[in-house]
Structure 1
Amino acid sequence: MMSLCRNLAVLLLFLSDLPLHHSHLSTHAASTFPPATRPPIIFMTAFGSDDDYDDDYSDSSSPPPEVVHAVKTTFVQREVQLCQYNPCLENQEPCEQISAKTGCLCPGVSGVNELPHAPIIQVLRPISEGDDKGKIEVQWCAPSSVVSGYRVVIEGSEALEFGEVSRRGLVGSLEVGTKVCVEAVNGAGHSSSSEFSCKRYTLPESSEHKLLAGVIGGGVALLLLIIAAVILWNHQMRKKAKRDSADGLGNPSYSTVGTL
Protein backbone atom coordinates (compact mmCIF):
# COMPACT_ATOMS: atom_id res chain seq x y z
CA MET A 1 0.00 0.00 0.00
CA MET A 2 2.84 2.34 0.78
CA SER A 3 4.57 1.49 -2.49
CA LEU A 4 1.40 2.30 -4.45
CA CYS A 5 1.16 5.71 -2.82
CA ARG A 6 4.83 6.36 -3.53
CA ASN A 7 4.31 5.54 -7.28
CA LEU A 8 1.31 7.88 -7.50
CA ALA A 9 3.30 10.69 -5.92
CA VAL A 10 6.13 10.24 -8.46
CA LEU A 11 3.65 10.19 -11.37
CA LEU A 12 1.98 13.41 -10.18
CA LEU A 13 5.35 15.09 -9.81
CA PHE A 14 6.31 14.11 -13.40
CA LEU A 15 3.03 15.37 -14.84
CA SER A 16 3.40 18.73 -13.12
CA ASP A 17 6.88 19.21 -14.54
CA LEU A 18 5.88 18.34 -18.18
CA PRO A 19 4.27 21.77 -19.21
CA LEU A 20 7.39 23.64 -18.06
CA HIS A 21 9.58 21.42 -20.16
CA HIS A 22 7.30 21.84 -23.18
CA SER A 23 7.35 25.65 -22.76
CA HIS A 24 11.14 25.59 -22.62
CA LEU A 25 11.33 23.64 -25.87
CA SER A 26 8.94 26.05 -27.58
CA THR A 27 11.00 29.04 -26.48
CA HIS A 28 14.21 27.42 -27.70
CA ALA A 29 12.70 26.66 -31.10
CA ALA A 30 11.42 30.20 -31.49
CA SER A 31 14.87 31.64 -30.77
CA THR A 32 16.59 29.22 -33.16
CA PHE A 33 14.51 29.70 -36.32
CA PRO A 34 13.81 33.20 -37.80
CA PRO A 35 10.25 34.31 -38.01
CA ALA A 36 8.51 33.35 -41.21
CA THR A 37 7.62 36.34 -43.46
CA ARG A 38 5.14 36.37 -46.35
CA PRO A 39 6.33 37.87 -49.70
CA PRO A 40 4.46 40.96 -50.84
CA ILE A 41 1.75 40.38 -53.39
CA ILE A 42 1.91 42.72 -56.41
CA PHE A 43 -1.25 43.21 -58.43
CA MET A 44 -0.77 44.17 -62.13
CA THR A 45 -3.46 45.47 -64.44
CA ALA A 46 -3.60 46.03 -68.17
CA PHE A 47 -1.32 48.71 -69.59
CA GLY A 48 -2.84 51.99 -70.62
CA SER A 49 -5.76 51.81 -68.16
CA ASP A 50 -6.93 54.98 -66.52
CA ASP A 51 -7.19 53.13 -63.17
CA ASP A 52 -3.41 52.73 -63.04
CA TYR A 53 -2.91 56.48 -62.96
CA ASP A 54 -5.53 56.82 -60.24
CA ASP A 55 -3.92 54.14 -58.05
CA ASP A 56 -0.34 55.35 -58.56
CA TYR A 57 -0.98 59.03 -57.98
CA SER A 58 -3.88 58.97 -55.53
CA ASP A 59 -1.54 59.39 -52.57
CA SER A 60 1.06 61.56 -54.29
CA SER A 61 1.17 65.31 -54.18
CA SER A 62 2.46 65.70 -57.77
CA PRO A 63 -0.14 65.87 -60.58
CA PRO A 64 -0.31 63.10 -63.18
CA PRO A 65 1.75 63.61 -66.35
CA GLU A 66 0.13 65.59 -69.12
CA VAL A 67 -0.79 63.55 -72.16
CA VAL A 68 0.05 65.39 -75.39
CA HIS A 69 -2.02 64.37 -78.37
CA ALA A 70 -0.48 64.70 -81.84
CA VAL A 71 -2.30 67.15 -84.04
CA LYS A 72 -2.29 66.36 -87.75
CA THR A 73 -1.97 69.47 -89.89
CA THR A 74 -3.01 69.32 -93.51
CA PHE A 75 -1.37 71.74 -95.90
CA VAL A 76 -3.41 72.56 -98.97
CA GLN A 77 -1.17 73.44 -101.87
CA ARG A 78 -2.55 76.36 -103.79
CA GLU A 79 -2.19 76.29 -107.52
CA VAL A 80 -0.01 79.13 -108.76
CA GLN A 81 -1.83 81.35 -111.26
CA LEU A 82 0.05 83.81 -113.43
CA CYS A 83 -1.50 87.13 -114.32
CA GLN A 84 -3.02 87.55 -117.77
CA TYR A 85 -0.51 90.21 -118.72
CA ASN A 86 1.06 90.59 -122.17
CA PRO A 87 4.15 92.82 -122.16
CA CYS A 88 3.78 93.43 -125.91
CA LEU A 89 0.32 95.02 -125.78
CA GLU A 90 -0.02 98.79 -125.67
CA ASN A 91 -2.04 100.78 -123.09
CA GLN A 92 -2.50 97.69 -120.93
CA GLU A 93 -3.42 97.72 -117.24
CA PRO A 94 -0.26 97.37 -115.10
CA CYS A 95 0.37 93.88 -113.79
CA GLU A 96 0.50 95.15 -110.19
CA GLN A 97 -3.08 96.32 -110.40
CA ILE A 98 -4.21 93.02 -111.94
CA SER A 99 -2.46 91.15 -109.12
CA ALA A 100 -4.13 93.31 -106.46
CA LYS A 101 -7.56 92.49 -107.91
CA THR A 102 -7.22 88.78 -108.61
CA GLY A 103 -4.30 87.64 -106.43
CA CYS A 104 -2.35 86.34 -109.43
CA LEU A 105 1.44 86.45 -109.70
CA CYS A 106 3.37 88.93 -111.82
CA PRO A 107 6.76 88.16 -113.39
CA GLY A 108 9.83 89.23 -111.45
CA VAL A 109 10.62 92.90 -111.89
CA SER A 110 13.90 94.64 -111.09
CA GLY A 111 13.82 97.54 -108.63
CA VAL A 112 13.24 101.19 -109.37
CA ASN A 113 16.84 102.02 -108.42
CA GLU A 114 18.27 99.50 -110.88
CA LEU A 115 18.92 100.03 -114.57
CA PRO A 116 16.07 98.52 -116.58
CA HIS A 117 16.58 95.54 -118.83
CA ALA A 118 16.54 96.08 -122.58
CA PRO A 119 13.18 95.83 -124.38
CA ILE A 120 12.65 93.38 -127.24
CA ILE A 121 12.12 95.01 -130.61
CA GLN A 122 9.61 93.14 -132.76
CA VAL A 123 9.23 94.68 -136.19
CA LEU A 124 9.92 97.75 -138.33
CA ARG A 125 6.81 98.10 -140.47
CA PRO A 126 6.35 100.80 -143.13
CA ILE A 127 3.00 102.60 -143.26
CA SER A 128 1.47 102.45 -146.74
CA GLU A 129 -1.89 104.16 -146.14
CA GLY A 130 -3.38 107.20 -144.39
CA ASP A 131 -1.80 110.36 -143.12
CA ASP A 132 1.30 108.51 -141.86
CA LYS A 133 2.08 106.98 -145.24
CA GLY A 134 5.83 106.69 -145.75
CA LYS A 135 6.66 106.52 -142.04
CA ILE A 136 8.00 103.50 -140.17
CA GLU A 137 6.23 101.94 -137.21
CA VAL A 138 8.49 100.48 -134.53
CA GLN A 139 6.97 97.81 -132.24
CA TRP A 140 8.54 96.43 -129.05
CA CYS A 141 7.82 94.42 -125.85
CA ALA A 142 8.36 95.73 -122.32
CA PRO A 143 11.17 94.28 -120.15
CA SER A 144 10.78 92.85 -116.63
CA SER A 145 11.79 96.11 -114.99
CA VAL A 146 10.34 99.30 -113.57
CA VAL A 147 9.99 101.57 -116.61
CA SER A 148 9.00 105.22 -116.75
CA GLY A 149 9.34 105.63 -120.53
CA TYR A 150 10.97 104.46 -123.76
CA ARG A 151 13.39 105.92 -126.29
CA VAL A 152 13.66 104.95 -129.96
CA VAL A 153 17.21 105.62 -131.07
CA ILE A 154 18.01 105.84 -134.81
CA GLU A 155 21.64 106.06 -135.85
CA GLY A 156 22.41 109.48 -137.20
CA SER A 157 19.23 111.01 -135.70
CA GLU A 158 17.92 112.26 -132.38
CA ALA A 159 16.15 109.81 -130.06
CA LEU A 160 12.36 109.89 -129.88
CA GLU A 161 10.66 109.50 -126.48
CA PHE A 162 7.44 107.58 -125.69
CA GLY A 163 5.38 106.91 -122.57
CA GLU A 164 5.68 103.93 -120.22
CA VAL A 165 2.50 102.26 -121.54
CA SER A 166 3.58 102.63 -125.19
CA ARG A 167 4.61 99.58 -127.17
CA ARG A 168 4.98 101.21 -130.58
CA GLY A 169 6.05 104.49 -132.11
CA LEU A 170 6.26 106.17 -135.52
CA VAL A 171 9.53 107.42 -136.97
CA GLY A 172 10.33 109.06 -140.29
CA SER A 173 11.30 107.25 -143.45
CA LEU A 174 14.39 105.09 -143.17
CA GLU A 175 17.00 103.96 -145.61
CA VAL A 176 17.61 100.26 -146.03
CA GLY A 177 20.16 99.04 -143.49
CA THR A 178 19.47 101.76 -140.89
CA LYS A 179 19.85 100.50 -137.33
CA VAL A 180 16.99 101.19 -134.93
CA CYS A 181 17.18 100.49 -131.15
CA VAL A 182 14.63 100.76 -128.34
CA GLU A 183 15.73 101.71 -124.80
CA ALA A 184 13.82 101.49 -121.50
CA VAL A 185 14.18 104.42 -119.10
CA ASN A 186 13.65 104.86 -115.33
CA GLY A 187 15.12 106.90 -112.48
CA ALA A 188 18.39 104.96 -112.54
CA GLY A 189 19.06 105.57 -116.26
CA HIS A 190 18.38 103.74 -119.52
CA SER A 191 18.98 100.19 -120.68
CA SER A 192 21.93 99.12 -122.79
CA SER A 193 21.56 98.09 -126.40
CA SER A 194 21.50 94.38 -127.19
CA GLU A 195 20.86 92.09 -130.14
CA PHE A 196 17.23 91.81 -129.02
CA SER A 197 16.58 95.54 -128.67
CA CYS A 198 18.02 96.60 -132.06
CA LYS A 199 17.05 95.84 -135.65
CA ARG A 200 18.11 96.97 -139.12
CA TYR A 201 15.50 98.20 -141.53
CA THR A 202 14.90 96.13 -144.67
CA LEU A 203 12.39 96.57 -147.49
CA PRO A 204 9.41 94.27 -147.01
CA GLU A 205 8.23 92.16 -149.92
CA SER A 206 5.25 93.81 -151.64
CA SER A 207 2.14 91.92 -152.68
CA GLU A 208 3.01 92.45 -156.39
CA HIS A 209 6.37 90.80 -155.88
CA LYS A 210 4.72 87.90 -154.08
CA LEU A 211 2.19 87.47 -156.90
CA LEU A 212 4.91 87.53 -159.54
CA ALA A 213 6.94 84.98 -157.63
CA GLY A 214 3.87 82.75 -157.40
CA VAL A 215 3.19 82.98 -161.14
CA ILE A 216 6.79 82.18 -161.99
CA GLY A 217 6.85 79.25 -159.57
CA GLY A 218 3.59 77.86 -161.00
CA GLY A 219 4.87 78.17 -164.60
CA VAL A 220 8.09 76.35 -163.75
CA ALA A 221 6.15 73.55 -162.05
CA LEU A 222 3.83 73.18 -165.07
CA LEU A 223 6.79 73.05 -167.46
CA LEU A 224 8.49 70.34 -165.41
CA LEU A 225 5.25 68.34 -165.38
CA ILE A 226 4.97 68.51 -169.19
CA ILE A 227 8.58 67.43 -169.66
CA ALA A 228 8.07 64.48 -167.31
CA ALA A 229 4.93 63.43 -169.22
CA VAL A 230 6.78 63.52 -172.60
CA ILE A 231 9.66 61.43 -171.24
CA LEU A 232 7.22 58.85 -169.85
CA TRP A 233 5.31 58.68 -173.15
CA ASN A 234 8.52 58.07 -175.12
CA HIS A 235 9.55 55.35 -172.71
CA GLN A 236 6.19 53.57 -173.09
CA MET A 237 6.39 53.77 -176.90
CA ARG A 238 9.85 52.19 -176.93
CA LYS A 239 8.68 49.31 -174.73
CA LYS A 240 5.73 48.69 -177.07
CA ALA A 241 7.96 48.64 -180.16
CA LYS A 242 10.30 46.09 -178.58
CA ARG A 243 7.34 43.88 -177.61
CA ASP A 244 5.90 43.95 -181.16
CA SER A 245 9.29 43.04 -182.65
CA ALA A 246 9.67 40.06 -180.30
CA ASP A 247 6.18 38.76 -181.22
CA GLY A 248 7.01 38.84 -185.00
CA LEU A 249 10.22 36.81 -184.63
CA GLY A 250 8.40 34.09 -182.69
CA ASN A 251 5.86 33.37 -185.53
CA PRO A 252 7.34 30.73 -188.10
CA SER A 253 5.10 32.00 -190.92
CA TYR A 254 6.49 35.46 -190.57
CA SER A 255 9.23 36.40 -193.04
CA THR A 256 10.77 39.65 -193.90
CA VAL A 257 11.24 38.53 -197.55
CA GLY A 258 7.61 37.77 -198.30
CA THR A 259 5.10 34.96 -198.49
CA LEU A 260 6.30 31.70 -200.16
Structure 2
Amino acid sequence: MLNGSEVMVEWCEPLSYVTDYVVTVGGQERYKFSKDKRRGSIGTVDHVTQVCVSAVNDAGESQASCTMYQPKDRSLPLKLGLTGGALGLLAVLLMGVLVWRRRRQRKQEAYISSAQ
Protein backbone atom coordinates (compact mmCIF):
# COMPACT_ATOMS: atom_id res chain seq x y z
CA MET A 1 0.00 0.00 0.00
CA LEU A 2 1.33 3.46 -0.87
CA ASN A 3 0.98 6.44 1.43
CA GLY A 4 2.21 9.38 -0.61
CA SER A 5 5.69 8.27 -1.65
CA GLU A 6 6.17 5.83 1.25
CA VAL A 7 5.28 2.15 1.18
CA MET A 8 3.02 0.97 4.00
CA VAL A 9 3.02 -2.71 4.99
CA GLU A 10 -0.11 -4.15 6.63
CA TRP A 11 -0.53 -7.44 8.48
CA CYS A 12 -3.06 -9.31 10.62
CA GLU A 13 -2.66 -10.20 14.28
CA PRO A 14 -1.76 -13.87 14.85
CA LEU A 15 -3.57 -16.03 17.40
CA SER A 16 -0.49 -16.36 19.64
CA TYR A 17 1.01 -13.73 21.96
CA VAL A 18 3.31 -11.27 20.16
CA THR A 19 5.92 -8.84 21.50
CA ASP A 20 7.01 -7.31 18.17
CA TYR A 21 6.68 -7.57 14.41
CA VAL A 22 9.70 -7.60 12.13
CA VAL A 23 9.45 -6.49 8.50
CA THR A 24 12.26 -7.47 6.15
CA VAL A 25 12.69 -5.79 2.76
CA GLY A 26 14.74 -7.55 0.13
CA GLY A 27 16.16 -9.91 2.75
CA GLN A 28 18.25 -7.12 4.28
CA GLU A 29 16.54 -4.08 5.77
CA ARG A 30 14.72 -4.89 8.99
CA TYR A 31 12.06 -2.73 10.56
CA LYS A 32 10.69 -3.46 14.03
CA PHE A 33 7.14 -2.54 15.05
CA SER A 34 5.49 -2.87 18.45
CA LYS A 35 2.86 -5.52 19.20
CA ASP A 36 -0.05 -3.07 18.96
CA LYS A 37 0.78 -2.05 15.37
CA ARG A 38 -0.89 -3.67 12.35
CA ARG A 39 0.88 -1.62 9.71
CA GLY A 40 4.04 0.42 9.31
CA SER A 41 6.01 2.48 6.84
CA ILE A 42 9.11 1.00 5.25
CA GLY A 43 10.03 4.18 3.37
CA THR A 44 10.39 4.31 -0.38
CA VAL A 45 10.98 1.20 -2.46
CA ASP A 46 11.82 1.91 -6.09
CA HIS A 47 12.30 -1.61 -7.42
CA VAL A 48 10.62 -5.02 -7.29
CA THR A 49 11.55 -6.66 -4.01
CA GLN A 50 10.33 -9.23 -1.52
CA VAL A 51 8.72 -7.88 1.67
CA CYS A 52 8.28 -10.25 4.63
CA VAL A 53 6.54 -9.87 8.00
CA SER A 54 7.16 -12.12 10.99
CA ALA A 55 5.87 -12.06 14.54
CA VAL A 56 8.23 -12.21 17.52
CA ASN A 57 7.51 -13.47 21.05
CA ASP A 58 9.43 -15.06 23.93
CA ALA A 59 9.70 -18.36 21.99
CA GLY A 60 11.39 -16.67 19.01
CA GLU A 61 10.45 -15.43 15.57
CA SER A 62 7.65 -16.95 13.50
CA GLN A 63 7.97 -18.09 9.92
CA ALA A 64 7.81 -15.00 7.72
CA SER A 65 4.84 -14.24 5.51
CA CYS A 66 6.21 -12.78 2.27
CA THR A 67 4.98 -11.07 -0.86
CA MET A 68 6.60 -9.39 -3.83
CA TYR A 69 6.25 -5.60 -3.88
CA GLN A 70 6.07 -4.06 -7.35
CA PRO A 71 6.22 -0.26 -7.43
CA LYS A 72 3.77 1.53 -9.70
CA ASP A 73 5.01 3.22 -12.84
CA ARG A 74 4.95 6.92 -11.95
CA SER A 75 6.21 8.10 -15.31
CA LEU A 76 2.74 7.98 -16.91
CA PRO A 77 1.66 11.47 -15.70
CA LEU A 78 4.97 12.87 -16.93
CA LYS A 79 4.54 11.23 -20.33
CA LEU A 80 0.97 12.51 -20.60
CA GLY A 81 2.07 16.02 -19.61
CA LEU A 82 4.88 16.09 -22.14
CA THR A 83 2.64 14.72 -24.89
CA GLY A 84 -0.09 17.26 -24.08
CA GLY A 85 2.42 20.10 -24.02
CA ALA A 86 3.91 19.05 -27.35
CA LEU A 87 0.46 18.81 -28.95
CA GLY A 88 -0.47 22.22 -27.53
CA LEU A 89 2.70 23.77 -28.92
CA LEU A 90 2.05 22.15 -32.29
CA ALA A 91 -1.51 23.54 -32.32
CA VAL A 92 -0.25 27.06 -31.50
CA LEU A 93 2.39 26.86 -34.25
CA LEU A 94 -0.18 25.60 -36.75
CA MET A 95 -2.56 28.45 -35.88
CA GLY A 96 0.30 30.93 -36.28
CA VAL A 97 1.17 29.58 -39.73
CA LEU A 98 -2.49 29.69 -40.80
CA VAL A 99 -2.89 33.30 -39.63
CA TRP A 100 0.37 34.31 -41.36
CA ARG A 101 -0.71 32.68 -44.65
CA ARG A 102 -4.14 34.32 -44.46
CA ARG A 103 -2.58 37.78 -43.92
CA ARG A 104 -0.16 37.22 -46.78
CA GLN A 105 -3.02 36.17 -49.05
CA ARG A 106 -4.99 39.31 -48.14
CA LYS A 107 -1.98 41.51 -48.86
CA GLN A 108 -1.57 39.89 -52.28
CA GLU A 109 -5.28 40.36 -53.03
CA ALA A 110 -5.06 44.01 -51.96
CA TYR A 111 -1.98 44.53 -54.15
CA ILE A 112 -3.69 42.92 -57.16
CA SER A 113 -6.89 44.97 -56.75
CA SER A 114 -4.94 48.24 -56.35
CA ALA A 115 -2.84 47.48 -59.44
CA GLN A 116 -5.91 47.26 -61.67
Per the TM superposition, whether the score is higher than 0.5 is yes
* Separation in 2, partners of 1:156, 1:175: 15
Identify if the C-alpha distance between structure 1 residues 126 and 199 changes in structure 2 by more than 3 Å, giving closer, same or farther: same
TM-score, normalised by the number of residues in structure 2: 0.58
Aligned-partner residue type, residue 70 of structure 2: T
1:161 aligns with 2:32: yes
SS in 2 for 1:159: strand
Counterparts of 1:140 and 1:204, CA distance in 2: 21
The amino acid of 2:42's aligned partner reads V
RMSD of the TM alignment (CA)?
2.2
Cα offset, 1:158, TM superposition: 2.6
Could you list the structure 1 runs, at least 4 aligned residues long, displaced by more than 6 angstroms after superposition. none
Alignment match, 1:143: 14
User: Is the 1:177–1:201 Cα contact (8 Å) retained in structure 2?
Assistant: yes
**Runs of 5+ unmatched residues, structure 1:** 1-124, 129-133, 213-260
Deviations 1:165-196 (A, max 9, x none): 10000012113321000010000100012xxx
Deviation, 1:156, is 4.6
Percent identity over the alignment is: 38
Larger C-alpha radius of gyration, 1 or 2? 1
Deviation per residue, 1:196-228 (Å, 9 max, x gap): x2111123478x78xx9xxxxxxxxxxxxxxxx
Equivalence for 2:23:
152
Q: Is it true that 1:126 corresponds to 2:5 in the alignment?
A: no
Question: Would you say the 8 A contact 1:175–1:201 is kept in 2?
Answer: no
Contact 2:45 2:71 in 1 (8 A): no
Task: Check conservation: 2:9, 2:42, Cα contact below 8 A.
Answer: yes
- The SS at the match of 1:141 is coil
1:153 counterpart SS class: strand
Conserved in 1, the CA contact under 8 Å of 2:27 and 2:50? Answer: no
Gap runs ≥5 in structure 2? 81-116
Match of 1:199 in 2: 67
Q: CA deviation at 1:126?
A: 1.7
CA distance in 2, matches of 1:156, 1:190: 15
Q: Partners of 1:182 and 1:149 in 2: how far apart?
A: 10
Instruction: Give the match for residue 187 of structure 1.
Output: 58
Kindly tell me the number of residue pairs found equivalent between the two proteins. Answer: 77
Q: What is the rounded CA distance, in whole Å, between the counterparts of 1:187 and 1:173 in structure 2?
A: 31
SS at 2:29 equivalent: coil
